[in-house]
Amino acid sequence: MPIMKFTTRFSALLLLLVMVVCGGCSSDNKSKTSAEEAKHKEPEYLYGINIEGYTIANDTVRSGETVGGMLGRRGVSPVMVDRLDKAAAEVFPLRKIRADKAYTTFMRTERDSLGEREVLDYLVYQIDAIEYVVFGFHRDSVSVTKGEHPMELVRQCREAVITSSLWGAIMEQNMPYALAAEVEDIYQWTVDFFGIQEGDSFAVIYDEKFVNGTSVGIGRVWGAKFSHGGKEYYAIPYAQEENKLRYWEYNGESLRKQMLKAPLKYTRISSKFSNARLHPVHRVYRPHHGVDYAAPSGTPVYSVADGTVTFAGWGGGGGNTLKIKHAGNLMTGYLHLKSFAKGIKVGSKVSQGQLIGYVGSTGTSTGPHLDYRVWKNGKAIDPLKITQEPAEPITSAHKARFEAVRDRVIAELEGKEVEGGIITDTDIFPAK
């Protein structure tokens, strides 16, 4: 019996000893595993910078603050600021840094015989939602590099019915604001956006840009259909000339015309062409052979077609006036301008869509507006009723390929299955 008790106790002690030893081994193994994991842990990067050892802070450029002041607050010497200014000149000039823009600093603690101090190694300035520039400080040298946030392109196909304006419809449907400007640019020769009617509609295919899940703009417009005044206007992308993307109507006619529909954007018509209009200042009926576009002072004004400036000066009641001669014995006039664009003078050659001046209220005027006029063979004609020919259509050599692209775009606009898949750059740009 005593022998049995001894054996039992010995077994229990032996089991306890094994558990302690094994537990110690397990603890040692866990420590080794944690050390190995830490050793092989992937470094984290932000803007291409390994963040280990840095204190990272976000800030914005203060109003009235200089770059020297912004960097000086973080211990960067005037000598280093001067070196940075020279190094940045070809990449991103420091003068382009603007107030209220965001930036990020990477600070580290440096220890020496005098103690500890915070040192700025990198400052990353946000140029826009996509681009940024990294300013690096490396003891006696500097570096300047530009980068871009990872961006995702999401193809969208959206449509909307207009109740007031194109911009209003796009805001109501939570589409990117930039889409309104893009659609206006595509249809600027074809659709009279000052004559938009309630019930007009549009559908458009476009790429939307996202950075970290946030929409930051749009990419290419892959096609559109605009229903205006009971008529449908398609916009089919195709590069008939190498690397020159244009938009075309259903039948292959160019959307580009000899003249733009209007010489400015985002305004309203306050007075139309008339042979007997009550003058708002003189209060008598007299001809008004132009179209008045009410717009804020300073609104950009563009030439509606290629031409040559024949008059640039004071036009009496018309105030600051420009007249431009175009092909086909056409001439356009732009009255009441606040000022002319840089370089615009008699004899200047201008291109369609080129900035020529700014809306004002000079001369006999009750408020800021542009009085836009057109003459053909010296006779005034209604700018809103000009019949004009489109640019060169799709040629026979490109017709089959264009029609294949067109049919796939229309299928996508209508939400149908796209035979052959949605169009890509390979489809719309001719093979080189």
Question: Are 276 and 380 part of one and the same domain?
Answer: yes
On whether residue 339 sits in a domain, the answer given is yes
Q: Is residue 8 part of a domain?
A: no
Is residue 39 domain-resident? no
Same domain, 287 and 371: yes
* Structural domain contains residue 24: no
Residues 166 and 251 in one domain: yes
Tell whether 95 and 203 lie within a shared domain. no
Task: Please tell me whether residues 72 and 214 are part of one structural domain.
Answer: no
Count of structural domains, the chain? 3
And the tokens for 127?
């140029």
| 241 lies in the same domain as 308 | no
Which helix H or strand E contains 301, and what residues bound it? strand 300-302
**Residue after which a domain boundary falls, among 97, 117, 148:** 148
Same domain, 350 and 364: yes
305: helix, strand or coil: coil
Same domain, 138 and 171: no
Residue-range definition of the domain harbouring residue 103: 48-148
Q: What is the DSSP letter of 1?
A: -
CATH number at residue 161: 3.10.450.350
| Whether 404 and 348 share a structural domain | no
How do the residues of the chain divide into helix, strand and coil, expressed in percent and rounded to 5?
25, 40, 35
What confidence score (pLDDT) does residue 17 get? Answer: 47
Q: For the chain of 432 residues, list the mean pLDDT of each consecutive stretch of 10.
A: 48 49 52 56 90 95 93 94 96 96 95 85 95 95 95 95 90 92 90 85 96 92 94 95 90 89 80 60 64 92 94 94 92 96 95 95 91 92 79 91 96 93 92 56
Q: Is residue 399 part of a domain?
A: yes
- Assess if residue 42 is contained within a domain: no
Helix or strand run (H / E) with residue 182:
helix 178-186
- 275 and 229 housed in the same domain: no
Same-domain status, 140 and 212: no
Q: Strands of 52-180 (E only): list them.
A: 55-60, 102-112, 115-126, 131-138, 141-148, 152-161
User: Is there a domain that residue 203 lies in?
Assistant: yes
Looking up residue 359, the CATH number of its domain turns out to be 2.70.70.10
Task: Note whether 144 and 161 are same-domain residues.
Answer: no
